[in-house]
Structure 1
Amino acid sequence: MVQRRIRVDKLYTPTHVLHDATLIVENGKVIGIEEGGAFDVDYRGYSAAPGLVDTHTHGCGGIEVTLIKTTEELSKLAECYAKFGVTSFLPTTVSAPHEVIMRVAGIVKQYRGNGGKGARVLGLNLEGPYINPKRKGAQNPSAIRLPKVDEFNQYYEESGGLIRIMTIAPEVEGALSLIQHLSSIGVIVSIGHTDADYGTVMRAIALGASRATHLFDAMTGIHHRELGAAMALLDSEDVYIELITDLIHLRPETILFAIKYAGIHRVLAVTDSMPAAGLGDGEYELGGLRVIVKGGKATLPDGTLAGSVLTMDNALRNLVKIGLRLSDALRLTSTNPAQSIGEHSIGCLKPGCLADFIILDDALRIMATYVNGSVVYTA
């Protein structure tokens, strides 16, 4: 591949900021950074940052992950995310019948083998079906069922071992056995859609759970006499914390509290987006349920929040809006999501990292998205 030299006013690694820098890219990787210097791609007046990473998203641009039937649909989904600065993502299912999850798992395996345009598909995230119906949120209760190791193994085999995360409610029958099994084969167990108390969640963490599915939402909260799942997850140093930073699911003060309490190294932003992301108000579906989007808020007809229409570029801007430095906001939207699933060559912009990056203007709008050193989106 031809070497590219891309000059920008600011380059975020993201923990450090370099001024008037030239990013040197070759064979899909960053091989060097220089001050000033010769260049062949001119983005002076703009900033470069690691590409955004969304590890929990159900859809974009009218396409729902759980309903995809072809690799072409997954490719279109990947192109949609690239518009919003996402260079890597984990397509995420909701609770669904067995044959539906098997189909999606097979498509992800096939797509990873064939590649595609747009954002990089890192694997598959299963949000359910092994959750507590009492905390189902906007998931279809008819698809929720008890955990079964044998059933999960079918999904894992069909995906070619590409299931990266699975959300489980640890209090339901069979959950603790599955948590240990998943941990033993390297699948990340995320605690969510749970009615568990503090002690039960702590036991699940001791057995291998290491993530919180959209902290505070669809789980027992913090009470002065019963700390609940949220506090157990915050209290555990070995747990990554997902936050939906649309400023609808969580108040700004709650986001800042979680960052302060858990530490910025443990917190990551997710969109939990549904197919209306990138589109306007209207009526949509999620997991077979009717969703109404009005004023940027997605709900079931009864008012229950149904994921979000958040995009990762807006997640980034919202974090800056509530007071985070841009470098810290990039950690939450890029570095931490990548590291939370063991991907250490993305979410960074320094020699040795993959050349997945974005170009931002002063208003933090996406001017261009690069994956493997190639442009996949330009404004």
Structure 2
Amino acid sequence: MTESSSSASWLIHHVNIVLEDQIVSGSVHVERGRISRVLSDGCELDAEAMASVVSVDGLGGYLLPGFIDMHVHGGSGADFMDAERKSFDKITRFHASHGTTGMLATTMTASKEAIDAVLQAAEDYRAAEMPYASLYGVHLEGPFISEKWPGAQNPAFIVDPQLEWLKQWTAKWPGLIRQLTLAPERKGSLDAIAWLAGQGIVAACGHTDAVYEEIIAAADDGLSQAVHTYNAMRGLHHREPGTLGAVLIEDRIYGELIADGKHVHPAAIRLLLAAKSTDKVILITDAMAAAGMPDGDYALGGLAVVVKDGEARLREGNALAGSCLTMIGAVRFMLEHTGLSIVDISRMASGNAAKQLGISSLTGSIGAGKQADLVLTDAQFNVKQTWVQGRSVYEAVVV
């Protein structure tokens, strides 16, 4: 399969192609990094095109749009807060091996200086060649969150929204910040949300104690996403629906979901899907440095974390501290526990995030003219190969 990494024209055939609304058995033709044609069985390229094409046998597996992870902190022993290229390479390489073709480098609640360093490192990384998964930008998770719901965020650095910081960051690094998570009940949050929405930045609620009315008011100002739904937010009560109640009922808000069986019970996942449908749920990993690593001691945002049986928790307080999840792991969990089709799950793993980020014309689904951001799996949805803009960035070792 490796020839496709250097060929300007290649064809993956004998594969089940997961489109936006159906599965088609056939082949996909890629030219110069973009999908040229999607061909169902019985349709073939003409002789002239076949003469120069490199053929890749999909072996009857599935070809999906590459996964887009809007909320990921790290993996393979590295954290985006390290603010250095070698860590970014480790993270993007690891997650590419699990089908992710694009992501947002997600920060932690930290000092402004530490966040500045990550933003500069991300800008530098994007300016150079990105050899693995693409970095679409940065997701600032905090520091404008609630002290009542810090989760694994460091409470020492929590502050009210600072609009001047946002203006400074976007002036210095235009287009780099793609999402910001805050607590809408904090002083200055609504002004920040309206400003973010006006800049095309996803404004998300998370680590929040907001009541129902505060979330609805935030949605009126442009709030459009909920971070790791159910986790680190005011829950549902029948007399005060809280943050969760507003997220479940408000169609303007997409709900992120960590589908690892540790953060959200399968029944709660089904409740979220019943309330919002597969068009408004976005699968994320919230993965930390321990993803892909053995159990043991790690750190997240400067706080000590213990990973046992693949579950990450703070040493002090025992709060869940991100995850060890991969996107393909989330896809398989959803297949096993929801009864949804791979078409619907693919939408939650790729298409919905692409729409939120405003890049659905380029990626997030398989179609002529789109970037060849693709992941090939076997029949059991184990990743066999990943391509970013038609370039092979991962291929499973055959043993």
Given that residues 106 and 158 in structure 1 are in contact (C-alpha distance below 8 angstroms), is that contact kept between their aligned partners in structure 2? no
SS in structure 1 at match of 2:57: strand
Q: CA-to-partner distance for each residue in 1:77-120, whole Å, 9 max, x for gaps?
A: 21111111100011100101111111111111111111211101
How many equivalent pairs are there?
A: 377
The correspondence for 2:17, drawn from 11, 36, 42, is: 11
SS in structure 2 at match of 1:123: strand
In structure 2, list runs of 5 or more residues that go unmatched.
1-6, 45-49
1:324 aligns with 2:329: no
Given that residues 75 and 90 in structure 2 are in contact (C-alpha distance below 8 angstroms), is that contact kept between their aligned partners in structure 1? no
**Higher mean C-alpha deviation, range 315-324 or range 30-39:** 30-39
- Residue type at the aligned position of 2:328: D
- The alpha carbon displacement at 1:238 in A equals 1.4
Q: Which residue of 2 aligns with 1:44?
A: 59
The correspondence for 1:353, drawn from 370, 375, 378, is: 370
SS in structure 2 at match of 1:142: helix
Distance 2:296 2:109 in 1: 23
Q: CA-to-partner distance for each residue in 1:247-297, whole Å, 9 max, x for gaps?
A: 111000111111111121001111111110111211100000000010111
1:309 aligns with 2:315: no
Q: Which residue of 1 aligns with 2:213?
A: 199
1:372 aligns with 2:389: yes
Runs of 4+ residues deviating >2 angstroms: 35-39, 70-73, 154-161
Q: Which residue of 1 aligns with 2:82?
A: 67
| Matches for 1:254-265 after TM superposition, within 5 Å | 254-265=268-279
Distance 2:136 2:15 in 1: 30
Identity of aligned residues (%): 35
Distance 2:129 2:104 in 1: 15
Given that residues 14 and 50 in structure 1 are in contact (C-alpha distance below 8 angstroms), is that contact kept between their aligned partners in structure 2? no
- The alpha carbon displacement at 1:336 in A equals 1.3
Given that residues 8 and 48 in structure 1 are in contact (C-alpha distance below 8 angstroms), is that contact kept between their aligned partners in structure 2? no
Given that residues 101 and 155 in structure 1 are in contact (C-alpha distance below 8 angstroms), is that contact kept between their aligned partners in structure 2? no
1:223 aligns with 2:237: yes
- The alpha carbon displacement at 1:165 in A equals 0.3
Q: Which residue of 2 aligns with 1:27?
A: 32
Q: Which residue of 1 aligns with 2:3?
A: none
Q: CA-to-partner distance for each residue in 1:336-357, whole Å, 9 max, x for gaps?
A: 1221221202110111211000
Given that residues 108 and 159 in structure 1 are in contact (C-alpha distance below 8 angstroms), is that contact kept between their aligned partners in structure 2? no
- Residue type at the aligned position of 1:6: I
| Matches for 1:269-348 after TM superposition, within 5 Å | 269-301=283-315, 302-322=317-337, 323-344=339-360, 345-348=362-365
Distance 1:45 1:180 in 2: 48
Distance 2:175 2:30 in 1: 31
Given that residues 245 and 269 in structure 1 are in contact (C-alpha distance below 8 angstroms), is that contact kept between their aligned partners in structure 2? yes
| Matches for 1:134-149 after TM superposition, within 5 Å | 134-149=148-163
Distance 1:157 1:78 in 2: 26
- The alpha carbon displacement at 1:303 in A equals 1.6
Q: Which residue of 2 aligns with 1:92?
A: 106
1:109 aligns with 2:123: yes
- Residue type at the aligned position of 1:9: V
Given that residues 109 and 158 in structure 1 are in contact (C-alpha distance below 8 angstroms), is that contact kept between their aligned partners in structure 2? no
Q: Which residue of 1 aligns with 2:170?
A: 156
Distance 2:12 2:256 in 1: 33
Given that residues 144 and 158 in structure 2 are in contact (C-alpha distance below 8 angstroms), is that contact kept between their aligned partners in structure 1? yes
SS in structure 1 at match of 2:122: helix
SS in structure 2 at match of 1:133: coil
SS in structure 2 at match of 1:134: coil
- The alpha carbon displacement at 1:161 in A equals 2.5
Distance 2:60 2:208 in 1: 47
**Higher mean C-alpha deviation, range 174-183 or range 52-61:** 174-183
Given that residues 66 and 96 in structure 1 are in contact (C-alpha distance below 8 angstroms), is that contact kept between their aligned partners in structure 2? no
- The alpha carbon displacement at 1:208 in A equals 0.8
Distance 1:346 1:45 in 2: 23
